[in-house]
Structure 1
Amino acid sequence: MRFDTDLKASYEEAPPSLVDVIVRDRRWCQGNLQHKAFVFAKGFHFATRLHLMSGIMSYLSAVFWLMLIVVGFALAVQAYFVRPEYFANPSLFPTWPVFDFEKARSLFIVSMALVLAPKVYGWLAAMLNIRRCMQFGGPILLTLSTLVETVLSALYAPILMLSQFQVVYDVFKGRDSGWKPQSRDDGATSWKVAARAHCSHTVLGVVLASGASVLKSRVVLLVVAN
């Protein structure tokens, strides 16, 4: 098994805008989730089952990610408003709130490794092939473009997470995606279209950022006071 990184004229270009990416994801998500009927069907090789599960989890991961954010934020709000009971159980010693920093750090490292590994492998594959590297502008421009793409991916990843969650919800509710084709033009998106498509994403992001800022300020004040 190997990765073919030198194929030409055999790929589909990405949609020209994030709005069109969401339109395409709507179709792909419904198709991938329908594959759950074949995961445990007879006659399939394990590699095929693994491939089907990978496609399913590529969209269910958005649900788990959002659940992680909601639960984490809810725990932070609880810690903000509810005073911890250090002597809830009869004991001479207090029961301190526990935060497992090592497990949290390990989860973060593994998550970043899974997300960044394909980008690093792609960059390395081009860097080791001088001819291919020069097709991307040389080592410096290739590295800069890789870093810029990584930053942009991190910025729009939460938007895709929320849109994919909505897509998964619609699919489980039995709503058919139809076949709405995305634009294949230059990708120009008007402010009106962008505002309508990302209004809910922006509002939720502002609410979470504001809440996190307030909670963080509260923690800093408590640490200073103590």
Structure 2
Amino acid sequence: MSLPPPVDYSARRLGFALLVAATVLGGIALMAATLAGNGFDVWDAAVTACFALTLPWTAVGFWNAVIGLALMRLAPAPPETNEQAPPTATIRSRTAILSCIRNEDTETVARNLDRMIAGLAATSESHRFEVWVLSDSTWPECIDAEEAFSARLQARWGHRVAVHYRRRSDNAGYKAGNIQDFVTRHGDGFDFALVLDADSLMAAQTIRRLVRAMESNPRLGILQTLVVGLPSVSAFARPFQFGMRLGMRSYTLGSAWWQGDCGPYWGHNALIRVAPFREHCELPLLPGRPPLGGHVLSHDQVEAVLMRRAGFEVRVLPFESGSFEENPPTLLEFIRRDLRWCQGNLQYLKLLGLPGLRALSRVQLGLAILMFLSSPAWVSLMVLGVLRLGLARDTGEVLDPALGSILFALIMTMVFAPKLAALADLLLSAAQRRAFGGATRVLAGVVTEVVFFTLLAPVMAIAHTVFMAGLPFGRAVVWGPQRRFGYRVSARDALRRLWPQTLLGLAAFLWLAASV
């Protein structure tokens, strides 16, 4: 089967860049005009500079959502996915399913693997797949449980889908090192590898679809679908589950339209082509000491840009298709995971100059850095704003209320654009409304989610800011096991981990109250 010529995305990317640039410059100009009623001084310049740092990521999300909504409503088909094989094509390749674990809850890992293997075993192509449990565990009780469930799975399914267990004694390179060790030692026996986290769950139909797509397009190096959250009993996790199902649709579709063959990689629930991954995607050891030196923590985007540098495509199938993960069950676990991502993304500062990267790859690394740098920018903006308002005799000395209201409305619209776009598409579709339980439930869910994330945003911004303030002094994240299931957070733990947010919020309240 001959492949169609590669799609030229240059016009789309140029148009998208112009939209984002115009939005950022317009936002900066509007902020400057809002503050310049009585002159533009050093305070105003500092506030505007902080505001400018927050805009690129916000503008990208806004235009992704707008384009995604337009595609959902107007396009006859989603963006190019290069799926050339029909859904009934016979699978002829060999795929290793890699379950990467370290001191995890083994019951959940075993249950999810059992469900995936059962789905594959029910097909005539099950012999094309093998499951490899790749352990970096150090706790004896976890190791014993892993060996036991791997043996049970092999005894139950080995005649259809072979199950192997391999444990490293040294978790050098963390998860990325675990995968590289596998492709180096065992990669010759496989064409593709499906990378899973401990909480991953994928439908057999989705796995086979990814494999067929990869078989039909030798240019594909990494392929994944939209990942959504599994149902959870945790009240904290449920807004994420709802938001991922609703808000990510328009965002991912719009992003895929212009990123195309230079898409992101989320590090799990994705299919990789083993040979080029082994040859080109081994991560460099960063110069210097941690936290910014040493092994790369946020490995996924780096592997994506290295795969693209090697000439292979990295794509996302921008729709929900049987690919799931667990969300952190508590705020403390969510913060802990986010700080690991924060440190990992800031390590990209040392990778922006890698030779041979595509221009878009450098932009993606830069945006990943800005995603977390925007947090201290927002916190600084808020602190400067509160101080300025507190020192002023009246609000009119600081800003133009009318322009300020317009600016606030525009920013809130941009921030929530992915949710609003997906909501608009859903309300216009009777089938989708029924799938979400009806319009009333959808609207109630959206209101709940907006309130939840409005409260969560400053908590996370302060957590990022405090963490980054400690980086020059050697503060670093330890990549330990995650607590993926609900537990009660003690008042002591909450106070110990959240005292900066509590203190800053109380100080801002008292300052403003005294100024009224």
Q: TM-score, normalised on structure 1?
A: 0.77
State the one-letter code of the partner of 2:330.
S
CA distance in 1, matches of 2:403, 2:362: 30
RMSD: 2.5
Which string of whole-angstrom CA distances, capped at 9 and with x for unpartnered residues, describes residues 39-93 of structure 1?
A: 344322232222212211111111101111121122223325xxxxxxxxxxxxx
2:491 aligns with 191
Relative to structure 1, the CA distance from residue 46 to residue 130 in structure 2 (aligned partners, 3 Å threshold; closer, same or farther) is farther
* Structure 2 CA distance for aligned equivalents of residues 129 and 44 of structure 1: 41
Supply the AA of the counterpart residue of 2:320. Answer: D
Q: Which moved more, 1:124-133 or 1:25-34?
A: 124-133
Alignment match of 2:477 (pick from 170, 173, 177): 177
User: Whose Rg is larger?
Assistant: 2
1:113 positional shift? 2.2
Question: Where in structure 2 are the equivalents of 1:1-226 lying within 5 Å?
Answer: 1=79, 3=253, 4-9=318-323, 11-79=324-392, 97=397, 99-101=399-401, 103-215=403-515, 217=516
SS at match of 1:121: helix
**Unaligned residue ranges in structure 2 (runs of 5+):** 1-78, 80-251, 254-317
Greater shift, 41-50 or 135-144, is seen at 41-50
The answer (yes or no) to whether the contact 1:23–1:180 under 8 Å persists in 2 is no
Alignment partners' CA distance in 1, 2:500 and 2:469: 16
Give distance in 1, aligned partners of 2:513 and 2:416: 27
In structure 2, relative to structure 1, the CA distance for the partners of 1:98 and 1:136 (3 Å cut) is closer
Question: 4+ runs of 1 displaced by more than 4 Å?
Answer: none
Instruction: Give the number of the structure whose residues are more often strand, by fraction.
Output: 2
Q: Deviations over 1:133-175 (max 9, x none)?
A: 3232111101110110101111121111110111222334332
| SS of aligned partner of 2:420 | helix
Shift in CA distance, 8/125, structure 1 to aligned 2, threshold 3 Å: farther
Question: What letter corresponds to residue 364 of structure 2 in structure 1?
Answer: H
Asked whether the 8 Å contact 1:15–1:183 carries over to 2, the reply is: yes
Query: Aligned partners of 2:403 and 2:349: how far apart in 1?
Result: 31
What amino acid maps onto 1:210 in structure 2? L
Q: Deviations over 1:163-190 (max 9, x none)?
A: 0111222334332211133311124323
More helix as a share of residues: 1
Distance of 1:98 and 1:64 partners within structure 2? 19
Alignment check: 8 A CA contact 1:65 1:161 kept: yes
Alignment gaps of 5+ in structure 1 = 81-95, 218-226
d(CA) in 1 for partners of 2:398, 2:470: 38
CA offset at residue 129 of structure 1?
Answer: 4.2
SS of 1:6's equivalent? strand
Q: What TM-score does the superposition give when structure 2 sets the normalisation length?
A: 0.36
Identity %: 28
